[in-house]
Amino acid sequence: MELGTTLTRFLIEQQRKSGASGDFTGLLSEIATAGKIISREVNKAGLIDLLGYKGKKNVHGEDVQKLDDFANEVFINTLSHTGHLIGMASEEMEGIYQIPENSQKGKYVFLMDPLDGSSNIDVNISVGSIFSIYRRKSTGKQATMEDFLQPGRNQVCAGYLIYGSSTMLVYTTGQGVHGFTLDPSIGVFLLSHEMITTPSRGKIYSINEAYDTIWTENIGAYIDQAKKEKKTARYLGSLVADFHRNLLKGGIFLYPADQKNPEGKLRLLYEAAPLAFVVEQAAGRASTGHAPLLDIKPKEIHQRIPLIIGSAEDVTQAEKCCS
Ligand code: AHG
Ligand code: MN
Ligand code: MN
């Protein structure tokens, strides 16, 4: 029986072709392991006492669900011993996580939204994990803020896991975007989407229309145009799932600045920038409405940013409304 291309085989082949060190092969293999563990827990969330709020707030004052914490710990435990990282940052942690003294250190930093869309778990809608990797800037024994506060353009690897009707890992190291689907019967990720490209124009627009009373005029004008063009609306409230659907089918996702939130809602470093790297590698575009998303130099780890992302021509059209 032909098994297909496993993630491990694909990574080894990529490593050989690009002449790269084995750093990403090691890191991505462990990201896949973390994804399998989280996928297992997400899938049985209704069966055991993992559902519901944990009764505490995270650093942004939001309710933390048990699975957010769990996913955060899984990534920390799985990745801190790879020998490739010097530090980690996460939506669920206020400051930098330093790789422990007794572990081997490496030259990369890792940022994550360990569980994205977590309010959807209770109702069986797809959720995900988003990750981003930069080469460190500092040279000391520990990671510093400067290592994390780099423009998205400097990312060396980014991607996401989606825990949906199937579990997928989608990533880029700057050589195209590749998607792998978990075969649960053998617990192995198999190459299912090689060299993903997104259509240059799509039928779908995704935005939370409940906020139309506080949208800026620009966004209202763009959505009016989208409706006139007979686009169709799709919005789950789960960024990874909304993004993934639009990446494959073509479309635009907007979480713009509005009159109450001039910086939007989504986080630059571990939500917007990694997806922007993926979309550009898939021939799409990502913008703040005024500038390419990947050019933004972050000021702090948990910074928010307006995000317009998806099919290249659709994003350009939305940007024109903003200018
Ligand atoms: P998280 O679950 O990591 O806090 O992210 C939730 C985000 C994102 O997944 C989604 O696109 C957005 O919140 C939805 O926000 P609204 O409910 O304001 O539309
Ligand atoms: Mn999120
Ligand atoms: Mn999250």
With a 6 Å cutoff on the Cβ, whether 41 touches ligand 1 is no
Report how far apart, in Å, the C-alpha atoms of 17 and of each of 7, 45, 182, 205, 236 are.
15, 40, 24, 38, 38
Q: Do residues 21 and 131 both lie within one domain?
A: yes
Q: Quick one: 317 and 217 in the same domain?
A: yes
Of all protein residues, whose CA lies closest to atom 16 belonging to ligand 1? 237
Q: Which residue, 164, 193, 222, sits at the end of a domain?
A: 193
Residues 310 and 245 sit within 8 Å (Cβ to Cβ): no
- For the chain, helix, strand, coil in percent to 5 are 35, 25, 40
171, 193, 215 - which closes a domain: 193
Domain total for the chain?
Answer: 2
Secondary structure (DSSP) of 222-272: HHHHHHHTT-EE---S-HHHHHHHHHHH-EEEEE--BSS-TT-SSBIIIII
- Judge contact between 89 and 96, C-beta under 8 A: yes
In a domain, 137, yes or no: yes
Note the pLDDT of residue 20: 75
pLDDT value for 17 = 87
239 lines ligand 1 (CB under 6 A): yes
Q: Does a structural domain hold residue 16?
A: yes
**253 and 140 together in one domain:** no
- How confident is the model at residue 322, as a pLDDT? 81
Does 71 reside within a domain? Answer: yes
Q: Is 234 part of any domain?
A: yes
Is residue 314 lining ligand 1, measured as CB closer than 6 Å? Answer: no
Q: Residue 119's pLDDT is what?
A: 87
pLDDT at 231: 97
**For tokens 């500038």, what's the residue?**
291
Residue nearest to atom 3 of ligand 1 (CA): 116
Looking at the fold, whether 114 and 224 belong to one and the same domain comes out as no
The CATH number for 288's domain is 3.40.190.80
Quick one: 310 and 181 in the same domain? no
Amino acid 12: pLDDT: 94
Kindly state whether residues 265 and 223 are assigned to the same domain. yes
Tell whether 234 and 180 lie within a shared domain.
no
What does the pLDDT read at residue 63? 64
Positions in the chain whose pLDDT score sits under 70: 1, 46-56, 58, 63-65
Instruction: Give the pair of three-digit tokens for residue 17.
Output: 């072709």
Domain limits at 244? 204-322
Q: Ligand 1 in contact with 113 (CB < 6 A)? A: yes
Q: Are residues 266 and 147 in the same domain?
A: no
Number of H helices, E strands in the chain: 8, 15
Q: Which atom of ligand 1 is nearest to the CA of 120?
A: 2
Please give the structure tokens belonging to residue 77. Answer: 């435990």
What is the value of pTM for the model shown? 0.95
259 with 222, same domain: the answer is yes
Cα–Cα dist 250/316, whole Å: 14
pLDDT at residue number 66: 81
